[in-house]
Amino acid sequence: NLEAIEAILDEVGEEIPVQLGGGIRSLETIEKYLDAGLSYVIIGTAAVKNPGFLQDACTAFSGSIIVGLDAKDGKVATDGWSKLTGHEVVDLAKKFEDYGVESIVYTDIGRD
């Protein structure tokens, strides 16, 4: 995976910010990707299931953490949209904003 990322980064150059998401569950993984040259890392399910991890990531990598929130009828979905939680998407977005996330990518999976 890292070789593919490095190839993409070499192709687009430093002027175009590149982000990556999917399966990111450790600070070590985030560090590896950012050290490789990525501008942002997107944390999805792990942010919902382990908010402490998200807080730690925002502290350690300020300005580089994006949260991906997927929702149907206002309720957050996790695990590749397979599980609906009881969390209201707007409430979680506000909470994660307070943690210091750089941005939030929202997908209304009811329309997708």
Query: Percent of the chain beyond pLDDT 90?
Result: 88
pLDDT digits (tens, 9 = 90+) for 76-88: 999 988 899 999 9
Q: Going from the first residue of the chain to its last (112 residues), give the mean pLDDT of each consecutive group of 10, the final group possibly shorter.
A: 91 93 96 96 97 98 98 94 92 97 95 70
The CATH number that applies at residue 85 is: 3.20.20.70
Q: Find the domain containing 94 and state its range.
A: 2-108
First to last CA, the chain: 27
List CB contacts of 6: < 8 A, sequence separation 6 or more: 36, 37
List CB contacts of 98: < 8 A, sequence separation 6 or more: none
User: Does the reported pTM lie above 0.75?
Assistant: yes
Per-residue model confidence (pLDDT) at position 67: 98
The total of structural domains in the chain comes to 1
Helix, coil or strand: residue 83? strand
